Structure 1
Amino acid sequence: MENIQAAAIWITGIPASGKTTLSMMLKDYFQKKNMSTIILDGDEIRKTLSKDLGFSPEDRKEHNRRVIEIAKLLVKNGIITIVPLISPYREIRKFARKEIPNFVEVYTKASIEECIKRDPKGLYKKAMAGEIQNMTGLQSPYEEPQNPELVLDTEKHSKEECLEMILSKLKELGYLSN
């Protein structure tokens, strides 16, 4: 039977790069193994704990800070915490790494052109029509991670291959064992 040490799997990337898809696959994998896991979805948290925040750089940092605090508590209580969050600034991801025990940064890399094609939530279409301001990757910058534990090129690899790469990395880092 596989065992996992509680960790925060922080999945960062521009919108439509594959964060949510991989998060759901990871959660399904862990749940099938009867492992305590949760997804801290940035969009869902914005509807509740961060509904007072917009998308300015300051508000994005505060939203991320709130998610970091929740993730820290969950990991300390033995729960595998999957965090699919754009988290566009290196500074905030560095802070997350410092604050959260067993932090694993996964970068879902895809070109802006590919993400515009995917656009499952219609965000790029709205941003290009002027309906959304400060869209990460278009009007607002995304600072690529400098030293993530894993870079997943979601244009070159299938979602199943990406899942296997995450699980392999967790084993390599000692968080997942057989």
Structure 2
Amino acid sequence: MSIHDKILWLLGPTSAGKSTIASALEEQLRKTYDFPAVHWDGDHIRNMFGPKFDFSAKNRLKVVQTLAALAQVSSSAGIITIVSALTAHDDARQFIQATLPNLILCYVHCSIDQCIERDPKGLYRRAAAGEIKTVIGYNSVYNPPAHPRVNLDTSRQSVPECVDILAKLAIHP
């Protein structure tokens, strides 16, 4: 694994801070270290393809497969690649681990109460109202990954602290 072909995959429950940390990391790698970096986000993929990707298990896996394909392309081009996505199911996790040899798995989490308090997309509020039936971590279990390389607890670590931890991993061989 060279410096620029790393793929940092941030996974965890909705509203744990994955996208916020990933965006800040991308900016720090570019501006502070002058390294090429790109951030691929599960929500962006879902928005790009619209209703084609609903929240079924099958389509959640398709989103992960799409993100993995994009990550492979950008990583092969020598760009440090950051992915932020729920990646809640074992089949998706096994897929990225088998497909991406330069993967650094980063588990981003906090308490469910903090996720509900943050809730920038209103998903937990809508789940509580019965409008959404599949908010993983709320009305179905989010199982933590078995062996992440990095474990970021956003109830104890600030965004800058998380970014510093990940930046060190990204820039060192």
4+ residue segments displaced more than 2 Å: none
Q: Distance in 2 between matches of 1:76 and 1:126?
A: 40
RMSD of aligned C-alpha atoms?
1.8
1:14/1:46 CA distance change after superposition, 3 Å: same
State the identity as a percent.
33
1:50/1:101 CA distance change after superposition, 3 Å: farther
Task: Name the counterpart of 1:26.
Answer: 25
Instruction: Determine whether 1:125 maps to 2:125.
Output: yes
* Bigger fraction of residues in helix: 2
Supply the AA of the counterpart residue of 2:166.
I
1:1-178 matched pairs, under 5 angstroms: 4-32=3-31, 33-49=33-49, 51-168=51-168, 170=169, 175-177=170-172
| Runs (5+) with no aligned partner, structure 2 | none
Supply the AA of the counterpart residue of 1:72.
Q
Q: TM-score, normalised by structure 2?
A: 0.91
Q: TM-score, normalised by structure 1?
A: 0.88
**1:136-156 Cα shifts (integer Å, max 9, x gaps):** 112233221110000011101
| Runs (5+) with no aligned partner, structure 1 | none
1:9/1:50 CA distance change after superposition, 3 Å: farther
Contact in 1 for aligned 2:39/2:84 (Cα 8 Å): yes
Q: Distance in 2 between matches of 1:69 and 1:133?
A: 29
Q: Distance in 2 between matches of 1:24 and 1:101?
A: 23
Q: Distance in 2 between matches of 1:89 and 1:55?
A: 12
Aligned length: 171
